[in-house]
């Protein structure tokens, strides 16, 4: 049984590598020589540096959120055959940047291609937030990122989503880890695996490239 699991692990790891190498690489991406899914000061700082480099707007409140939706700067997060949304996510926060949408759709398709018989979908627990909503979250959860400053949450830019791990199989979680690590290595995302909230927190950079 252990031997069978080991070979399955190698197979899914290989598939994750192949899938992730077909996307996400652009000449403007700055490679990350030490990709890691472990949350750290450096990882949060890297997100904010990239947000500033891309001139991303930090959405202060619901009024600004609505304006960005009306302008098309943010696009709607929708469910499909591969993606589902946590029912608890407020509808006004079911939006994200267009490049993040591309990543989510690609990720969902690659997951389904790799695990065609899986009963699971990729669940999005969180997408865009405002500075106000991040402050509220910070009061409830001390582990949440700051709402302002050099380590502020990248959710406020619309570039980030939280993808749930709950109910996924060990093989599926292992595949996701390798998939994200490879994209982080080429510099097109910054990802963190969270254990208290049981999610993968992923910020998608503007240099992420769709080659599907």
Give 8-70 as a DSSP string.
HHHHHHHHHHHHHHTSS--TT----SS---S--HHHHHHHHHHHHHTTPPPP-SHHHHHHHHH
CB–CB of 124/84 below 8 Å? yes
Which CATH number covers residue 181?
3.30.1380.10
* Half-sphere CA count of 57, side-chain side, radius 13 A: 13
CB–CB of 145/151 below 8 Å? yes
Report pLDDT for 6: 43
Residue 31 and residue 189: Cα distance in Å, rounded?
A: 10
Instruction: State the average pLDDT for the chain.
Output: 89
For the chain, the domain total comes to 1
**pLDDT tens column, 45-97:** 999 999 999 999 999 999 999 999 999 999 999 999 999 999 999 999 999 99
Does 187 reside within a domain?
yes
Does 210 reside within a domain?
no
Does 174 reside within a domain?
yes
Q: Taking the alpha carbons of 44, 48, 53, 58 in that order, is the dihedral positive or negative?
A: positive
Q: Indicate the pLDDT class of residue 142, thresholds 50, 70 and 90.
A: confident
Q: Is 131 left (phi over 0), alpha (psi -120 to 50) or beta?
A: alpha
Q: Indicate the pLDDT class of residue 9, thresholds 50, 70 and 90.
A: very low
Report pLDDT for 58: 97
pLDDT at 12 over 70: no
Written as one string, the DSSP assignment of 157-169 is GT-EEEEE-TT--
**pLDDT tens column, 144-159:** 899 999 999 999 999 9
Does 212 reside within a domain?
no
| Global pTM exceeds 0.85 | yes
- Edge-to-edge strand ranges of the sheet holding 122-126: 83-85, 122-126, 160-164, 199-204, 189-194
Q: Which domain holds residue 49?
A: 2-204
CB–CB of 129/156 below 8 Å? yes
**pLDDT tens column, 163-206:** 999 999 999 999 999 999 999 999 999 999 999 889 999 999 99
Of 71, 64, 95, the C-alpha closest to 161 is: 95
């Amino acid at each position: 049984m252990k031997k069978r699991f080991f070979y399955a692990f190698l197979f899914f790891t290989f598939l994750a590598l192949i899938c992730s190498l077909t996307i996400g690489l652009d000449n403007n991406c700055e490679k990350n020589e030490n990709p890691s899914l472990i949350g750290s000061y450096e990882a949060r700082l890297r997100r904010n540096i990239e947000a500033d480099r891309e001139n991303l707007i930090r959405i202060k409140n619901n009024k600004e959120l609505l304006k960005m939706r009306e302008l098309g700067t943010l696009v709607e997060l929708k469910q499909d055959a591969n993606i589902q949304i946590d029912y608890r996510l407020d509808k006004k926060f079911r939006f994200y940047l267009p490049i993040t949408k591309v990543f989510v759709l690609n990720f969902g398709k690659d997951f389904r291609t790799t695990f065609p018989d899986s009963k699971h979908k990729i669940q999005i627990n969180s997408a865009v937030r405002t500075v106000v909503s991040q402050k509220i979250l910070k009061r409830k959860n001390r582990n949440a990122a700051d709402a302002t400053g050099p380590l502020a949450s990248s959710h406020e830019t619309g570039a980030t989503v939280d993808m749930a791990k709950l109910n996924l199989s060990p093989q599926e979680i292992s595949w996701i880890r390798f998939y994200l690590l490879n994209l982080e290595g080429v510099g097109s995302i910054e990802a963190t695996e969270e254990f208290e909230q049981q999610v993968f927190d992923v910020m998608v950079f503007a240099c992420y490239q769709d080659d599907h």
